Structure 1
Amino acid sequence: MIKIDAGDFFLVEPSEVYAEQIREYRQDFLDTDSSMDGCGPLRRYEDPITYISESKKYLNPETLPDGTVIATQFLYVRKADMRLVGMIQIRHYFNDYLSKYGGHIGYSVKPSERRKGYATSMLNAVLPYCKEIGLEKILISCIDGNIGSEKAILNNGGVYESTVYEPRRKFRMKRHKLKRFWIYLSD
């Protein structure tokens, strides 16, 4: 079990300890019709125990779901009250889709916890782990117009590369342009 200290927060892999909070996290997104980016298969699983089990499959090449890549899923937990406020997923390498649209990292902040700088600090906290697994630069994309996500990326050294049209993904019944950014990890 990986646990990363991040000041007033920590990153930890999903476990049964957080099952009820994972259920609440998912419901908050459903209630607000928000996109569950960086949550792995959370949207598909109402039962948090099943979600936790499925998330672990992304860590092992032998159990990796078809069409996906090795990925580490983290919960972002506030130490003061031990509440889950965000999720972030690190993809260790690309498949074709990720190289064009998704990138190495996906993340989200619980809708009821937004506009507190959590995305910026969560992204910053995971960068050393990315370097530890051998990444030298990280591609991150966000929906064009998602100012909060773009600020989090820029605050962590993101360099704009391009905007692409993603033809498959639908959110609120419309397709999106995605802005692509690179974060270069230096010594």
Structure 2
Amino acid sequence: MAEYKVKLINPSSHLKEEYRSFYEEWEASGEKMIPSVIERDPSHFEEMLQFLRDNEKAIRIPAGWVPDSTYGLIDERKRVLGVVNIHHALTPFLRNSGGHVGYGIRPSERRRGYAASLLGLSIQKARELGIERVLVVCDEDNIGSFKTIVKNGGTADRDFIEEDGTVVKRFWIDT
């Protein structure tokens, strides 16, 4: 259970050191970084922030991409606990195995209820963005994400099987 009140915030310069700590912890874990937007090295923090702002406004985004919004989950101590990336629309790829919402909690803060809070707050943000139903996905073997999605009202849709055989569980949540 989360010990502190949490909220979603737009990435900003005042969180530079805390975000760097989040990134370095995740990188040291050797785990895949999810959402993929956190793979960007924050060494040039202002450039990273500009990239995120551009994505949100659909400025200089690559062909085939859709606008997206990125938020950090912080607690009362201003510690970055997690990050969420919300796609404003779905491409064929996102419809199958990416979804509207991709989120991740820093390794040292997992199993404390933060993922459920992050997803719940993300659903509210999606509503503010005009998205009436969000698609949230997880790999079949990710039991924690499966439970988090269901806890937030996820209704199962058909699974998608990727070329490598990975089974992606797909869920819809009304905002």
Q: TM-score of the superposition, structure 2-length normalised?
A: 0.89
Match in the other structure for 1:20:
17
Name the CA distance, whole Å, in 1 between partners of 2:60 and 2:49: 14
Identity %: 29
Which whole-Å deviations, capped at 9, do the CAs of 1:27-85 have from their partners, x for residues lacking one?
21221122221252x31324251322211121122322333211110000011x11000
Name the CA distance, whole Å, in 2 between partners of 1:158 and 1:103: 12
Higher fraction of strand = 1
Gaps of 5+ in 1: 1-6, 168-173
> Which of 159, 163, 172 matches 2:159?
163
Name the CA distance, whole Å, in 1 between partners of 2:50 and 2:79: 21
> Which of 94, 100, 106 matches 2:96?
100
Matches within 5 A, 1:1-187: 8-40=5-37, 42-47=38-43, 49=45, 50-79=47-76, 81-167=77-163, 176-185=166-175
Q: Segments of 4+ in structure 1 off by > 3 A?
A: none
SS in 2 for 1:90: strand
Higher fraction of helix = 2
> What letter matches 2:88 in structure 1?
H
Identify if the C-alpha distance between structure 1 residues 66 and 26 changes in structure 2 by more than 3 Å, giving closer, same or farther: farther
SS in 2 for 1:131: helix
Q: How many residues align?
A: 171
Which whole-Å deviations, capped at 9, do the CAs of 1:98-145 have from their partners, x for residues lacking one?
111101000000001000010101111122221122111110101111
Name the CA distance, whole Å, in 1 between partners of 2:44 and 2:135: 29
Name the CA distance, whole Å, in 2 between partners of 1:110 and 1:175: 27
Gaps of 5+ in 2: none
Q: TM-score of the superposition, structure 1-length normalised?
A: 0.84
Answer yes or no: is the 8 Å Cα contact 2:101–2:122 preserved in 1: no
Deviation (angstroms), 1:151: 1.0
